Chain A
Amino acid sequence: MVECSERMKKYFDNIVKEVEKIYRIAEECRKLGLDPCDYVEIPLATDMAGRVEGLVGPKGVAERIRELVKEFGKEEAALKIAEEIIEGKFGKFDREKAAEQAVRTALAVLTEGIVAAPLEGIADVKIKKNHDGSEYLAIYYAGPIRSSGGTAQALSVLVGDFVRKALKLDRYKPTEDEIERYVEEVELYLSEVGSFQYTPTADEIRKAVRNIPIEITGEATDDVEVSGHRDLERVETNQLRGGALLVLVEGVLLKAPKLLKYIDKLNVEGWDWLKEFVNKEEEKEEEDEEEIEDEDINLKYWRDVNIEANKKYISEVIAGRPVFSHPSRIGGFRLRYGRARNTGFAAQGFHPALMYLVDEFIAIGTQLKTERPGKGTCAMPVDSIEGPIVRLKNGDVIRVETVEQALNVRDKVDKILFLGDVLVNYGDFLENNHPLIPSCWCEEWFEEILKSKGIKYDREFIKNPKPEDAVKFALETKTPLHPRFTYRWHDVSKEDIIKLRKWLLKGEEGYYKNEKVWIVEKSKEKEILENIGCPHLVRDNKIIIREYYPLLYSLGYDVENKRDLFNEDDVKNAKNSMHLINIMAPFEVRRNTYVYVGARMGRPEKAAPRKMKPPVNGLFPIGNAGGLVRLINKAVEENNTDSIEVSYGICKCGKISLYRVCPYCGRRVELNRYGKIVAPLKDYWFMALKRLKINKPGDVKCIKGMTSKKKIVEPLEKAILRAMHEVYVFKDGTARFDTTDVPITHFKPKEINVSVEKLKELGYDRDIYGNPLTSEDQILELKPQDIIIPEACAEYFVRVANFIDDLLEKFYNKERFYNIKKKEDLIGHLVIGLAPHTSAGMVGRIIGYVKANVCYAHPYFHAAKRRNCFTKDTRVLVNIDGDVKRVTFEELYNLFEDESYENFAYIRKKPKKDIKVYSFDIKNKKVVLTEIEEVIKAKSPNHLLKFILETGREFVTTHDHPVLVYKDNKFVEKKAIEVEEGDLILIPKIEFQEDDIKEIDLLEKLLKEEFKDLWEMVEIEGLEKWLNINKKKISLSELLKILSDYNLSIADVPKDCYLIIKDEKIKRVVDIESLLKIIGHIVKGDKSNLILRRLFKIEEGRIPSFIFKLPKERIKLFISTLFSNGRIKCKNKMLLEDIDLLLNRLGIISSWEDGELILTDKVKKLNFGWVLAVKKIEPIVSENEYIYSLNAKEHHNIIINSNINVHQCDGDEDSLFLLLDAFLNFSKLFLPDKRGGQMDAPLVLTTILDPKEVDGEVHNMDVMWRYPLEFYERTLNMPSPKELRDIMEVVEDRLGKPEQYENLGYTHETSSIDLGPKLCAYKTLNTMLEKTESQLKVAEKIRATDERDVAEKVIQSHFIPDLIGNLRAFSRQGVRCKCGAKFRRVPLRGKCPKCGSNLILTVSKGAVEKYMDVAEKMAEKYNVNNYIKQRLKLIREGIKSIFENDKNKQIKLIDFFNNYKK
C-alpha cells in the first residue's frame, strides 16, 4: 500500500471499492457468453508487479517480482526474474519460449508494466547458430520498442545476455557483412527515416556489434531497403530494422553510462568494451554550456547577459501555426519563475489577455514550443503575471492587464511591443536540465528582498503600487525600484536614454482627466518610450505620461524638487544602459529582463470522440455490402451482402453462428471454423432488433472486415445501440474521448461546474487553509485520481453512459447502472485514462467539467498514464553520518576513478580498490556492508545544515538530504530541513567481521611502494650473520639490492631483526599486544615512532584501520592505553570519531565535550543502537567548493537522489473512457493482428496511483509556496538547476511519504482556470489560406516576430514539400473504385475489374495544385528569398508540364496569331 494519510487512504479505498463493484457487474454480464471472452479482459493491478503479470505474464510472477524489487530494486529484480523464468520456476517452457518469456517479463518490469514495448517491441526471441556451430541468442526488436525509452532498451540487451548465459549459449559472432549491415542501416535510417538522439560513428557501431553478446536484430520497420549488404543468411530482411537500430543506438550506445552502472553492480562479465562509450553524453552537454561574461561585480544586477539564442524550436514553422516570438528577440516573452495551480509538469502560464491579443491562437491547452527551457508546453492562463504591452493605432502605449481590456482594445492594437510573461516552474528547468537563466525583476523577488531586510510593506503596494509611492518607497527604504516601474532600459542605447531625457525634460506637469500627468510635445523620441515599455497616451499631438514619477526619477530628475540630479559627464563612465540609469537614478534600478524567450504554436488543444476512419458504431463486418459509408441497415434494405472473413461455428441447430451463443437458438457454439462466408446480414440484423426490441434504429455504421487475427465479431446489438446514442467505437471495442491533458493541483468549485454539496460527498471537506468548505470560491487541493473533463467530453460520456445502460438492460438483461440525464450526473463516476503508446490504463474519477478543451487532472495522474521514456535513477541510501566511515568523502572519492560528468556532478564509478560502505538496514535493523555504485562530487550549495546531537556529535548535510528519524519505534525519513530539534537520530550498533591478528611483520609492510622514501632511512639491525658481513646495520635499500641480486625474497630474511630509524628501534615482527600499546601511546602523543606512524598513518590523527576489526578484547586493551582518568583528551575530532567507533563495538556510547571523550549512559539505548536527540540545527556557510555523496545499494539510512538527464516525449493527448464500457466491451481479440496493434489498448489497469511508479518527469515539479530569495539571486549566475536543488522542494522530496499526496504548494494565483479562449483559432479557421494569412497577420502584429522569416519558413517547410510531394505522388499514384476496390496502377481495361465502374484517381490535379497560388502570393507579398522563389517557379513549371497539353498550347498560339491576322 502506498504511504498516505488516513484521509487519502479512505479516498483510495473508495476508488478501489467502486472499481471492484463495476468489475463484478461486468463479470456478471460477460459470463453470459455474449462476448468474445467470458471474463473481463482487463486485469486490475494495484502496482507494477501486477501490471507486469497482467501484461506479459507468466502467471504467478507478480508476487515474486514484488519480493525481488523490495530486495534488489527494479533493475536487478528484472534480471533476476529473467533467470528464474529460465530456471523454470514459473512453469516449463522449451528453451526458445523460456528465453522469450524471460526477456519480455524482464522488459516489462523495467518499463513499469506501462508500455506495450514488452509485448510489441519484441517480435521474437530465437536461438540461432554461429558459423562455428555454436548457439547464440537473438532478440528480434520491432518498432514499438521505442515506447520503452533508451535505458530500458539498453537493459533489455543486458537481460538478453543474462538469459543467454542462463541457457549456456555462446556469444553472437557476427560476420563482417553483418557488422557492415548495421553501419549501413544506421546511415540509411538517418537519411531516409529520421534521426537518433545521438549519431554514432561507423567505428562505434562496428565495435558495439562485435562485442554485444547477443544478436540485436528485428523485423523490417520501414519500407526502405539497404543497397549494400543484402540477402545476408542470418538477416531475414533487406529492409531497415528500425527497432533493432533504436536499441543499438539510443539504447546500448547512448545509454552506455547507465548500462555500465548495472553491469558493474551486477558483476556482468564481458562488457568492459562499453566503457569507451561512456563519455558521449557529457561531451554533448559541455557544448551546450553557456558562458557568462566576466564583469565588474557592481554590475551584477545590470549586466548584459550573453546567452546564445536557441533556434531549435523555430527550425520548423508549420503553416497556420503562428510564431509568437523569434529566438531571444526583444519584445518576446519574459521568463518568470514560479508555478500556478494550473501549471507545472510541462504546462506554462501565459497571461489570458495575450491569448486574445494574438488572435486567439493561444487557447487554454494549446501546445507551444518554447525556446527555453525547450520542448513543448501547454499554455495555461495565469493572470497574476505581467500582461502584454501594446501600442494602439492612435499611438497610445498601454499595459493590457485583464481579459476585458484585451477584448476592448484588440481591434485597435497596432503592435504588441512586449508579449508579457511566461510562467515557468523551476521543475521544468530541472527536468530539461537547462541552466537557469537570470530571473526577471519581478514582484516576488522584490517581496523576498523586503522580507529579508525586515522592511514593512503593504501587500497591495506589491501588487498594485502608485507611481509616486514606488519612488518614495525606493528612496526611503533604499531598495530597488518596484518592478512595475522598472522599464526595459537595457533595450535601448545610452544615447537613446540621453535623447529621451532631454526630450522628456522639455515637458511639464499637467492634468489629464483630473490626474496629475507629465505632458510633452510629440516627437520621434516617443519610440524610445515605446521601446522601454513605458505606457503613455497620445492626445492632440501631445504625449501624456501617467507614470512620470518613476520614469523621470530613473532618468535622474527629481520631480518633487524640480531638480536635475544628473551630470552629463557621467555618461562616459557608464558601461551600459543599465549602468547609466543607475548612475542617474537616486535609487537602484534593476534590470527588467535579461533574456527574452521565443515561442511558436505547436499543436492545437484537442477534445473529440475517437473515431476510426471511416467512423463506425460497431465491429461487425459487412464487407462492401453497405457501400462506402458501410451502413448495415442500407445493406439489409437493398438486400445486399458480401463475403466476409471471420471465425464462426456451426450450431447444433444447423445454422452458422458468428457469436459464441447462437443467435438463432441460444445454444453455446464453439467458434472453431475460420474462413470466408457470405455474411448473413439480414438474419443477424433482424434478430438483433428483436432482441433489443427496437423497430427503427436509424443508420448503423459497421466495418468492412476485421483486422484481428481470429476475426471474432462483436455482437451487432452493440453497434445498433451505439448508433442510437451517437457513440463511436474504437478498434478495441471501447468508446473513447481524446483530449489534451493539462495539470492542475488546486481548483475552485465554481470553476468546474460542481456544487459544494457534491464536492463534500466526494471527500472535499476543507479548503487549503483548513477551513470547512462552504463557498464555491474556496480553493481546494485536487486529489490525485480526480479529473475535470472538458464539457464536450461530458456530453459524449452522457451518451456513452446511456448506451451502456441500454446495453445492460436490453442486451445483457441487467439493471441499468449509470442512470444519467445531464452532465452533472457524471460526477463521481470512474473512467480510465490511457496515454498514447501505452498499454496500462489508470483509474480516474470525474469531479467536474470545464468549457476549455482540456482534461484537467493531477500532474501525477497524467504522469501515471504517460509513456515512461526513461527510468529515474533508483533511490539509493547513503551513510552520511560519518560514524562508520574510515575515510573522508574526499578520500573516498579519490579512491574511485573513471570520472564522468553528468548532470553537473562528477561521478566516479570504478573503485581503485574493493570499497564497500557500511549502512543500516532498516528492515533487519542492523548494519550491513554494501557496495558503492558510484561516488558523486558536486558543487556545494552556499548553505548546508549542521546537526548537533546530544553527546556532542554532529554532522553536516544539504537541506534536501533525507535523514532517518526515529519515531514511535519506527524510522521515518525526513528531509534534513524538516528535521526538528528533539527529533531522534539513530546511532546504530556496529558489528564487524572480526579479524584476529596475532603479529605484524613491519618489514613486509614497509616494502609497499608508498614507503619508498623510507628505504634509505630505515636500517636493519641483526643481519650480520645471515648476510655474512661486518656491518652491524644495513639500510633497507641496500638489503633490497642484495635480495634482488641473490634472487631472494623478504620472507627469507630472518624474523629476529630490528628496524631502526633515527633513534627509534623496533622489532621487525611485533606481537599485536605490544603493537597496540605502542600505537596507543603514539596516538596519545606520548611516544613517537616514525615507522609506525608512517605505516599506520597515525600522523593524521587516526586510528589504524586494522584495529577496528580486532577482537573486542584487543580493542579494550587498546582503548585502555588511551584513557587517563576515565577520559580521553583529544583535540582531533577525527580521532575522537575513530575512538567512538571502537567504543561502539564494545557497546559503549560516548559523549564529547570540549575535546574530551566521556563514557555516558544518558542516551536511549535500543538493541540495535542508540537514538540521540537533535540538540541544534544550524545553517552554516559551506566552506568547500564541493559536496560529496555516494550511491550505494539498498537499505541505507540516508537517501540522496541522482537525477540523470532524460528526454521528454510529446504525447500530451489522452483517451478517456468510462470504466464499465471498458470492462464490458473491450476485448483483446478485436485488436489488429499487426505490429503496434496492442498499443493504445488498456491491457491492464492500475487502480491506485503511486507517485513513485509514475513517469519521473513529474518528480521534478516544484511544490513550494514561494521561491526563496537565494533562488532569484543565484539565477543570475545561470547555474544548473541541479545546483539549486537543495533550496527548492520538488515532488521527489516527498515520494514515499504521506505528503506526496497533500499540501503541494504553488507560487502564483490565477483567478480562474477557465480564463482565456476555449478554442484555438487554428481550429476555427477553415482553409489553409485563411490559416496562413492569420498566422502572418499575427506575425506582423508582434514586434518580436519577423514575418518575412515566418513566410519563408512556412513556404519552405510546408508548402513546397507538400507541392513536391503531391506532384511526385501524382506520378506514382494508384486508383480506386467507388466500390471500395483499390489498385496500384490503373488496369489496362480502364474499368474496375471487380464491378466494372469507372475508376477514380487517388491524387487529383486539385490536390497537387492546392497550395501553389497561396505559396506564390505569399512569396511575393513578403518578398522571400530568391532561392524559394526559384523553387516555386520550377514547381509551377512542373505542374504546368504535367497538367497542360503542349499541343493545346500550340493550337492556342496559332489561334492567337490567326486572330491577330484577321
Chain B
Amino acid sequence: MINKFLEIEVLLTPDVYKALKQLKNEDIEMIIKKIKEFKRYNNKLILLDKNFLEIFTLNSLDEIINKYKDFDFISYYTGEKEEKKEEIKEEVIKEREEKEETKEEKEEVKEELPTIEEKEKTKNESLIEIRESFKSRINWIAKDIETKVKIYEDTDVSGKSTCTGSIEDFIKYFRDRYERLKKFIERKAKRKAKAIKDIRKVEEDVFTVGLVSDVSQRKNGDLLVRIEDLEDEILLILQKDKINNGELPDDILLDEVIGATGMVKNGVMYVNEIIRPSPTPKEPKRIDEEIYMCFLSDIHVGSNEFLKKDFEKFIRFLNGETNNGFEERIVSRLKYICIAGDLVDGVGVYPGQEEDLYEIDIIKQYEEIANFIEQIPEHIAIIISPGNHDAVRPAEPQPRLPDEITKLFNRDNIYFVGNPCVLNIHDFNTLLYHGRSFDDLVSQVRTASYENPTTIMKELIKRRLLCPTYGGRCPIAPEHKDYLVIDKDIDILHTGHIHINGYGIYRGIVMVNSGTFQEQTDFQKRMGIKPTPSIVPIINLSKVGQKGHYIEWDKGIVELRY
C-alpha cells in the first residue's frame, strides 16, 4: 500500500497508515484517485496526515481542489509562514496588554487575600505561560460570531426553590411529574387517558396513565406493575410472552410515568401496549454556520487525581496551540463550552475525602478553576452547571453556584445555571444535567452500562425523566415542579458524572457524555470503573448527524470520530 502511495508521490504518516489499513480497498482506491487528480493542480510533495486523510475522504474532489490548490504544504508541515509573522506579533502584543489587565485585577485580589499570595503568584506564572503560547496565526472566526445563549428560566430551579420540607412538598412534586408526563403520553397516544377509578368497569381497550409504584415478577414470568394516579391505583399485568416477543417492555422502573392500554378484568389490567412519553424521532438539528461547541465536566480541581497538565494543555489548545490546520480550523470556530458539573472535587463529599485532596479549601479550589476558565478566550461563551461535588445542595434539582463562588470568575460571556437546565445555544436546545441518577439506572436497567454512557442516557430520553426512580442514590429535593422532567424538545443532552466519554444520537437528540480531567481514583479502581480522562468532545453544529461532525480532543490530539 505504501508503494501505491509512493507512486503518486505521497508519503504516509504512521497513524494514517494504520487508519488506511482499516479501510476497504475500494475506499483506498478512491482516495488514491482523488489525490492523483488533485496533484494535477498542486503537485507538491504530500505527506498524508490524519487531517488530510479526512479531507480527502470526506470532501468532494472539487471542494478539495478549490480549497487546496494553492495550499502551501511545505509550510503546513514545517509550520513556517513568512508573510504572517508580523500579524502574529501584533496579536501577541495585544494579548500582553490583556494580560497586564488581568494582572492588575489579580493584584486587587491579592490585597484582599494576602495569605494566598504565593499561590496566586504561581498561578499567574502558569497564566503567562499559556498566554505566551498564544502566538498562532489563527484567524479567530468565532470572534465575529455573535454569542446566542438563552436560558429557559422555567427549567432552572435557581432562585426558585420552593420546598420547605413538608409532606405536601412531596405530594406536589410527584403530582407535577405525573401531570406533565401524562400530557406527553396522551399526545403520543392521541387520546385522553381515563382515570383509574373509572376503568374498573370498562372491559376492553382501556387507556390510562399512571405513576409506577411497584414492580414485581410472577413466578410464571409475567411482570406485575402497580400504577397510580391522583385518586386510585391499579395492577397491570404484562404477560411474559408479550415481553419476550418485544411487544411490551421489560424495563419498567419505579416512579416513571407510563401509559397503558389493554383489557380490564377483575380489577386488573392485561396490558397490550405500554406508551412512554418518548420524544418523536426527528432529524438532528443543524445550522448553516460552521460553529463548534465543546463539552466539559468533572474537572475535579483540588483532587490529587486532577490532571492539571492535561487541562492546561487543553486550555492552550483553546488559545490556539494547534498542531495542524484541522485543529486550527476547529479552534478558530469554537464558540461554546458547556460544563456539566463537578468543576472542583469539593470538600466533604464522601468520608475521608480530605486524604485525597491537594487543596482542602473549597474556595481555593474554585479560585483555581476560575483561573483556568479566565484563560479561555473571551469570545468563547461558557455555560456552567453544578454537579454533586460542587458547593451547592446535593439534592437535585441543584441551583446554580452561589454568588460567593461565581464572583471568583473574572470573565464575561459566562453563564451559571442550575442542574438540570435547558438553554438555547445558537438555536440548539441544550439540556445540561450532571448525571447523578446514572448510578441508580445502571443497576436497574439491564442494557445500561457505565462503559457506554449513551445506553444510560437513552433511558432518560425514553422516559423524559432525568431521574426516574425516587429513593435511590440520587437525592431529590421535593420542589413543587419536577425539574427533572424533560419538558422541552431538546436537541442536545449533555451529561457527565461517570467520567467515561460517550457519544450517540437517539431519536435525533445528540447525547454527549463528557469525560473528565481526573485520573482513575481509588474508589473507581475498586469499583472496576475505568474512566477515560482528558478527552473533550467537540461538535460541529453545521453537520450534526453527518459524517465528520463529532470530534474529540484527546490528550492534545484532535481526532475526528464520526
Contact = CB atoms under 8 A, between A and B. Distances in A.
A1375 B443 contact: no
Contacts of B170: 1375, 1385-1386, 1401
Nearest to A1373: B471
A1389 B361 contact: no
B184 to A, nearest CB: 17
A1385 B476 CA distance: 12
Contact of B362 (A187, A1372, A1430): A1430
A1438 interface: yes
Interface string A220-248: 00000101100100000010000000000
B151 interface: no
Given A188-B527, A1388-B175, A1389-B231, A1371 B475 contact: yes
Contact of A1427 (B178, B254, B360): B360
A1443 B161 CA distance: 9
B470 A1430 contact: no
B391 A191 contact: no
A1115 interface: no
A187 B528 contact: yes
Nearest to B473: A1372
A1368 interface: yes
A1375 B167 contact: yes
A1446 B159 contact: yes
Contact of B527 (A227, A1398, A1435, A1446): A227
B394 interface: yes
Contacts of B391: 1434, 1437
Interface stretch (A520-528, A688-696, A991-999, A1359-1367): A1359-1367
B443 A1426 contact: no
Contacts of B232: 1389
A685 interface: no
A1404 B169 CA distance: 13
A231, A1405, A1437: most-surrounded residue (chain B CB, <10 A) = A1437
Contact of A1426 (B164, B165, B361): B361
Contacts of A1049: none
Interface stretch (B64-72, B293-301, B346-354, B545-553): B346-354
A1388 B164 contact: no
A1447 B162 contact: yes
B255 interface: yes
Contacts of B163: 1442-1443, 1445
Contacts of A1401: 165-167, 170
Contacts of A1446: 159-162
A1444 interface: yes
A1367 B529 CA distance: 27
A1430 B361 contact: yes
B174 interface: yes
B143 interface: no
A1387 B228 contact: yes
Contacts of B347: 1427, 1430-1431, 1434
A1434 B470 CA distance: 24
A1368 B393 CA distance: 10
Given A227-B527, A1371-B476, A1375-B167, A1389 B174 contact: no
Given A1388-B171, A1442-B477, A1434 B160 contact: no
Contacts of A1438: 392-395
B420 to A, nearest CB: 16
Contacts of B475: 1367-1368, 1370-1372
A1444 B165 CA distance: 8
A1416 interface: no
Contacts of A1360: 348
A653 interface: no
A188 B526 contact: yes
A1389 B229 CA distance: 7
B526 A191 contact: yes
A635 B475 CA distance: 40
Nearest to A1399: B167
Contacts of A191: 523, 526-527
Interface string A1400-1419: 11001100100000000000
A190 B527 CA distance: 10
A475 to B, nearest CB: 57
B348 A1431 contact: yes
Given A188-B527, A1446-B161, A1446-B162, A1400 B167 contact: yes
B442 A1388 contact: no
A1442 B527 contact: no
B351 A1361 contact: yes
Contacts of A1385: 170, 174, 213, 255, 470-471
A1390 interface: yes
A1430 to B, nearest CB: 5
A1384 interface: yes
B442 A227 contact: yes
A1427 B360 CA distance: 6
Interface string B338-375: 00000000111001001000001111000000000000
Given A225-B443, A1426-B361, A1371 B174 contact: no
Contacts of A1387: 213, 228, 233
A1371 B393 CA distance: 11
Interface-central residue, B170, B231, B361, by most chain A CB under 10 Å? B170
Contacts of A1370: 165, 475
B58 interface: no
B354 A1427 contact: yes
Interface in A1142-1165: none
Contacts of B168: 1390
Interface string B125-165: 00000000000000000000000000000000001111111
B395 A1371 contact: yes
Contact of A1434 (B161, B362, B526): B362
B26 to A, nearest CB: 39
Contacts of A1367: 394-395, 475
Interface in B183-214: 211, 213
Nearest to A1431: B348
**B174, B178, B230, B394: residue with the most chain A Cβ atoms closer than 10 Å:** B394
A1388 B229 contact: yes
A805 to B, nearest CB: 50
A1405 B255 contact: no
A184 interface: yes
A274 to B, nearest CB: 25
Nearest to A1372: B471
A1443 B165 contact: yes
Interface string B393-427: 11100010010000000000000000000000000
A1442 B470 contact: no
Contacts of A1371: 395, 475-478
Nearest to B172: A1390
A184 B528 contact: yes
A1375 B230 CA distance: 17
Nearest to B475: A1371
Contact of B164 (A1372, A1427, A1437, A1445): A1445
Interface string B444-473: 001000100000000000000000001110
Contacts of B348: 1360, 1364, 1427, 1430-1431, 1434-1435
Contacts of B525: 187
Given A1370-B165, A1443-B165, 18 more contacts: A187-B526, A1371-B477, A1372-B476, A1373-B471, A1387-B228, A1388-B175, A1389-B232, A1390-B168, A1401-B170, A1408-B165, A1427-B360, A1430-B362, A1435-B348, A1442-B161, A1443-B164, A1445-B164, A1447-B160, A1447-B162
14 contacts: A190-B526, A191-B527, A1360-B348, A1368-B394, A1368-B475, A1372-B471, A1375-B167, A1384-B213, A1390-B171, A1398-B167, A1430-B363, A1437-B392, A1438-B395, A1446-B159
Task: Report the 10 A-B pairs with minimum CB-CB distance, sorted nearest first.
Answer: A1371-B475, A1431-B348, A187-B526, A1438-B393, A1441-B393, A1405-B165, A1390-B171, A1371-B395, A228-B528, A1372-B471
